[in-house]
Amino acid sequence: MTMGPMSGGAGTAGTAGTAGTAGTAGTAGTAGTAGTAGAPVVGLDGMLGYPAYSGAFPSPMVTNALITTREAAIAGKAVWSIHEAKQNLLRQPFLPPSAIVDWMPRSKVAGLQTSVRSALIEMELLKNLSYAYDAKGKNVELTAGGISLVKVHCPDKTVFDKQLSLVESFSALRAERTAEILTQVVPQTSHWSSIAALSPDRHRYTWELIGIGLRFAMMIVMRFKYDFNVKRAWQRSAVIQPMILTPGHAAYPSGHATEAAFVAEFLPLLMGDPSHPFSNEYPSRDDDNIIIGMEKHAGEEYGMARQLNRLALRVAENRVVAGLHYPIDTIAGQALGCMLARYMVWLTGDQPAPWLQMKALPVGAIAFSSAVTGHDDRPGSDSFVHEQHGIEKDSVKQPLPAAPKNEAIVLRDLWVLARREWVNS
C-alpha cells in the first residue's frame, strides 16, 4: 500500500496540548491530499482520517463521534423527529460481474499519477457547465449542455435574519456534539467507511473518485456562495459565537451539506445499491450467487442509501449547531450535492445497476421559492432530496438523456476501475 504524505503527522505535536491550536492544521491532515493508496481525499491520511479509524493513532474523539453519529443514523434522530428503530437489517449490497460494463480502461489512464488523473477529470466535469442568472441575481441555475441540473433561489436578507434565532437555539447542542463537529471539519472518511465498508486497501480507486467528486462539488458550491454573498450568522449577531473558526467565504449554500450529500448519492450509485430510493426490484441470491427471487428494497430504513443520507443531514445540521450556518443553507446544499453526483455518474455513460438505471434518476431540483419565510424552512431528518421540504414539489423530475459518447473518457476509465472493486463485495 502506498501511503500519501502524512502532513497530519506534523499536527501530532499539538496533541500533547489537546487545546493546542497550532496542531490542528496537522490533525486534519489537509496537506496529505494524495492520501492513502494515492486517493486524493483530504484527511484520509490525517489524524482524523484512517489512522484514527484503524487505531494506528488512537483517537477517542473520532471513536466517540462515530458512536453518536451511528446512534442518530440508526434511530433517524435529528432535532425535530425520532423514528422508532426496526430490526429489518439489510445486507451490504454487491455488484454481480454482469453489472460491470465490458470496458478495458486504457493503460495510460491507469498509469497516470492521481493528481494528473484528477486534473483531467475535473476538466471533463466542468467543460459543459454554465450558469444562468435572473435580473436581480436572486436565482442561479446550473445547466449542462442545456439540461437544468439545479436552480437555487437566494432568500431575502430578512429570511436569514429570522433564522438567527434558530442558529442560536441549536447552540444548546454544542457540548454533546463536540466530537462530531470537530471530526467532521474535514471530509467524513471514517463515517463513510463505517457505513459503506470502505477500505483504503481494497477501494483505492473508489477513494480517488470520491476525492475528485468532493473537489468538483466544492468548486461548484463556491461559485454559488460567491454569487449570493450571504453573510455568516456571526456577522449578523454577537451572540452566535461559533465554537470553531468560521471559514472565509459566504454562508449560502452550505459547502459541507453539498459535499456530504454528494457522497450520500454517489456511493450508492457506484455500488449499485438496491436501497437507493429510485431502485427497482433487486435479485436476491443464495450463497452460490444463484438468483432465488426478486425483492424491492428502495428507500429501506437500514439500507446504505438512507444511512448515508442521514449521515449527510447530521453533518449539515452539525454545522448549524457549531454556529457556522443557517438551517436554510443546508437544504440548498443538499439539493446541489445530490444533483452534482447524478451528473458525474451520468457523464460516465454507464448504468449503476440493472435495477437502477440513469433514466430513473431525475435532475432539475429547485431549492426554495421566493416565498420563503425564515422560521419554517428546516432540513428534514429522514428525507431524500426529492422528498424534502424546501425543494419545490415535483421539481426533481427532468430525466437525463443518453450520455454523449467519449465526453469524459478519463472519468469513465476511473469509474470502471472503481466499480470492479465492488464486484461481489
Degrees to nearest 5, angle at CA 11 with 59 and 65: 25
Over the chain (425 residues), what is each successive 10-residue block's mean pLDDT? 38 39 36 37 58 67 80 61 45 60 69 90 94 86 92 90 90 92 89 89 91 96 95 93 92 95 94 83 68 71 86 93 93 93 93 82 82 60 68 72 82 91 74
Write down the pLDDT at residue 182.
Answer: 92
Write down the pLDDT at residue 205.
Answer: 92
Q: Whole-angstrom Cα distance, residue 280 to residue 283?
A: 10
Write down the pLDDT at residue 5.
Answer: 37
Question: Residue 266 has which C-alpha cell?
Answer: 454517489
Write down the pLDDT at residue 318.
Answer: 94
Write down the pLDDT at residue 71.
Answer: 75
DSSP 8-state secondary structure symbol assigned to residue 285: E
Provide CB contacts within 8 A for 146, sequence distance 6+.
none
Q: Where are the beta strands (DSSP E) in 246-364?
A: 282-285, 291-295
* Per-position DSSP letters for 369-386, written without gaps between them: -TT--SSS----SS--GG
Between the alpha carbon of residue 215 and those of residues 222, 259, 290, the distances in Å are 10, 9, 40
Q: Closest Cα to residue 309, out of 88, 69, 61? A: 69
Q: Whole-angstrom Cα distance, residue 366 to residue 152?
A: 6
CB atoms within 10 A of CB 359: 12
Q: Closest Cα to residue 157, out of 359, 360, 308, 372? A: 372
Write down the pLDDT at residue 357.
Answer: 84
Write down the pLDDT at residue 72.
Answer: 78
Alpha helices in 30-154 (DSSP H): 50-54, 60-75, 107-110, 114-126
Write down the pLDDT at residue 91.
Answer: 54
Write down the pLDDT at residue 368.
Answer: 81
Write down the pLDDT at residue 4.
Answer: 39
Write down the pLDDT at residue 47.
Answer: 53
Backbone angles phi, psi at 288, to 5 degrees: -95, 15
Phi-psi label, residue 38: left if phi above 0, alpha if psi -120 to 50, beta otherwise: left
Write down the pLDDT at residue 201.
Answer: 83
First to last CA, the chain: 20
Between the alpha carbon of residue 414 and those of residues 21, 118, 270, 307, the distances in Å are 38, 10, 11, 26
Max intra-chain CA distance, the chain: 63
CB atoms within 10 A of CB 91: 10
What CA dihedral angle connects 252, 257, 261 and 267, to 10 degrees? 130
